[in-house]
Chain A
C-alpha cells in the first residue's frame, strides 16, 4: 500500500484535498492547485514532502522563466571565456551543462516532491514546453546527447493564481484541485494548529470578527487565511481581551489591529466610512 497523505500537524487538509493528493501520488500525475491567494497552495507541497519524508525541490516561476531552465542550461558564455583563457575544461561540453530543478528531481534516489510554483507567471508557452517531460518523465540533452530519465516519478505539485489560462493539453495531463476558502469549522482547526494555546473565547470572537470583515460588501481584497493567522498573532502579542472583539453590529466598530486584515487603503476607508455612518445613524 502506498503512503497516504492525511495532512500534518501544521497543515489542515480537507478530505477532498487529501483525495486529490493521494490520487496524484498513486497515479504519478502532476497535481494542479488553484485557489484564492493565501489559502496555502505553496505550503501544500512542503507539507507533502514533510509528511511523507521526501526530499523537496522547489522551482519558483517568474515571468522570464523558460521551461528549458528547469531541465538544464548550457553556460556557453563561460565556456567561451575558458576557451579563450586556454582552460582545458572547455574541451568537454558537459562541464558547462548546468542542471535545472527538474533534472535534480529526476536524479533523486527516493521519490521526491517537485513544486512548480506559480506556473501562470511564465510565458503562455511554458506549460506546453513541459508536456513531454511531465508525461514521460524524461528529456534529452542535445549538447551531450544524453537521455535523462527520472529514477522515480516525482510527486509534482503545480500552483497557479489564474493569471493566465493554461493550455488544454497541459490540463489534460494534470489532476486539478481548487482550494476553497475554508469554512468556519475548518478555520477553527487551522487556527488551533497554528496557535495551540489560544484561549477558546478569543478564538471564537476573532473568527466571528474575521468572517464579518470578509462578508463586508465591496472589499477589494478580502482577507484570507494567512492574513487571519497574522492578525491572531498580533492579537495574542498585544494581549487583546476577547471582549474588545465583540460587537453586536458588525459595522459599529473597527476590530482592533485591523491593518493586518485589510491590505489596501480603499478598503480601510470604506470600512471607516461605514462605521462612521452607523455611529451617526444611531
Chain B
C-alpha cells in the first residue's frame, strides 16, 4: 500500500528511500496517526522528508496523490450517527457557548449545519488516505473531527485539514529560490571544508601524548595532515546599470564571502571585464587596478567567482571600443579568456533567472567564453558553483585557455 505514493514522491524529486518508507508503514501499524488526514500528513512528512527544502515538493506531491481518493470517504460521512455528534459537541462546549448556540437557532439546526459542513468538506478535500479506508469502520474518530472543529465551524472561518499541505508554507525553503546571507555562508562554507585537506604533515601533539601514554611512557610520535585552511578567492562584482536590481543579493553574497574566507580579494567592474577593474566604487575613476596586475599577482590556485548578470549589448563583449564607459583597446572577450587561462578555478554567478539566459545573446556569448560554468545565483546554483570550483578545470575551460595562454604577457 501507498507504494504509488512512494514512487510519485521520488518522481517529484523528494529523495525518499525504502527504509524510510518502511518506517512510515511501521508507524501506521503502531497507530501513531489514526483517522485523521492531517495527522497522516504530518506523520508522512516527519518520516519521509529530512530537509525543509523538500517540504514544498512533498506538499505538492501529497496534494496530487491524495486528490484522487476523496470519494471513498463520502459514504462514511453520510452514516455519521447524530448522537455521536451531539455527544462530541456537548463535551467540547462551555456553558456560555451552549447558550450562544441556543440563540443561533438551537442544537438541531447547528448539528444540521455541522453535518452538512462535514459532508461538504469530505467532498472537497479529505485527501483520501486509503489506509484509513482499510481500517476505518468506526465513525470518524474524535481526533479526526475534534471538538475544536465544531467550535470553529460554528464561528465560521474553518481551518480545514487539507489546507495544511495546500498552503505551501515551505516554498521559501526550496533551494531553487534566492538566498539570504546565512544560506550563502552555509554554501560557501563547503568550499572551506575542502580547503582543510592537505598533503603536508605536522606533529600531532595531542595524539603523540596520547599514544605515548598508551605506550607506557615510550615516545610514539604521531603526525597528521596539515590543516590547509587557506582557500583563496578573487571576487569580481558587476556594479551599476542592469545590476541595480540585484544589488541586495550581491551585497549578501559579498558580506557572506567576507566572513567566510580569510583570503578574499574583491574587484568591481561595469558590465564586462576590461583592462581595468577597481576596488572602491567611490574612487572608481581615480584608483584603477589594471587587470594585467591581477593576472600576474595572484597565483593560479586562487578561486575566481565572477558575479554579474552578463546582460548587455553583445558588442560590449566582442568588439574593441565596445565598452559603454571608455575606449577599450581590446574586446572584453579577450580579457575574459585571459582570466580563465590564468585561473583554472573559475565560476560565474548570474542573478538573472536561468530561464532568461537562452534569450539573452550576451549571456550566451559569455557562456561560450567561460565554458559551462555559469550558475544562477540561487542556493542550488551556488552549491553547484562551489562543486565546480572544487573540481577545477572543465572541458569548456580548456578550449578557452589555449588562445589566452599565448596572449598572456610574460
Interface membership of chain A positions 186-198, coded 1 if the CB is closer than 8 angstroms to chain B and 0 otherwise: 0000000000000
Asked if A201 is an interface residue, CB under 8 A from chain B, the answer is no
Do B169 and A20 have beta carbons less than 8 Å apart?
Answer: no
Measured CB to CB, the closest approach of chain B to A128, in angstroms, equals 14
Q: A79-B213, A162-B186 are in contact. Are A19 and B43 (CB under 8 A)?
A: yes
Q: CB-CB < 8 A to A27: which residues of B?
A: 23, 26-27, 30, 32
Bound: A176/B248 CA distance, A: 32
Asked if A174 is an interface residue, CB under 8 A from chain B, the answer is yes
CB closest chain-A residue, reference B173: A178
Q: A176-B51, A177-B46 are in contact. Are A84 and B217 (CB under 8 A)?
A: yes
Asked if B352 is an interface residue, CB under 8 A from chain A, the answer is no
Asked if B67 is an interface residue, CB under 8 A from chain A, the answer is no
Measured CB to CB, the closest approach of chain A to B332, in angstroms, equals 33
Q: CB-CB < 8 A to B209: which residues of A?
A: 77
Q: A77-B209, A80-B217, A164-B189 are in contact. Are A172 and B50 (CB under 8 A)?
A: yes
Cβ contact of A80, chosen from B42, B213, B248, cutoff 8 A:
B213
Q: CB-CB < 8 A to B181: which residues of A?
A: 220
Do A76 and B214 have beta carbons less than 8 Å apart?
Answer: yes
Asked if A278 is an interface residue, CB under 8 A from chain B, the answer is no
Q: A27-B23, A32-B50 are in contact. Are A19 and B33 (CB under 8 A)?
A: yes
Do A19 and B51 have beta carbons less than 8 Å apart?
Answer: no
Measured CB to CB, the closest approach of chain B to A73, in angstroms, equals 11
Interface range for A? 20 to 34
Measured CB to CB, the closest approach of chain B to A144, in angstroms, equals 14
Do B213 and A76 have beta carbons less than 8 Å apart?
Answer: yes
CB closest chain-B residue, reference A124: B193
Do A20 and B30 have beta carbons less than 8 Å apart?
Answer: no
Do A34 and B32 have beta carbons less than 8 Å apart?
Answer: no
Q: CB-CB < 8 A to B33: which residues of A?
A: 19, 23
Please report which residues of chain B, range 268-309, place their CB below 8 angstroms from some CB of chain A when the two chains form the complex.
Answer: none
Do A172 and B55 have beta carbons less than 8 Å apart?
Answer: no
Do A76 and B210 have beta carbons less than 8 Å apart?
Answer: yes
Bound: A77/B215 CA distance, A: 11
Do B27 and A172 have beta carbons less than 8 Å apart?
Answer: no
Bound: A27/B29 CA distance, A: 10
Please report which residues of chain A, range 7-28, place their CB below 8 angstroms from some CB of chain B when the two chains form the complex.
Answer: 15-16, 19-20, 22-24, 26-27
Do B216 and A83 have beta carbons less than 8 Å apart?
Answer: yes
Asked if A279 is an interface residue, CB under 8 A from chain B, the answer is no
24 sample A-B contacts, Cβ–Cβ < 8 Å, listed by A number? A15-B38, A15-B39, A22-B32, A23-B43, A23-B46, A26-B30, A26-B32, A27-B23, A32-B50, A76-B213, A76-B214, A77-B209, A80-B212, A84-B217, A124-B193, A163-B186, A164-B186, A164-B189, A168-B15, A172-B17, A172-B19, A176-B46, A177-B46, A178-B170
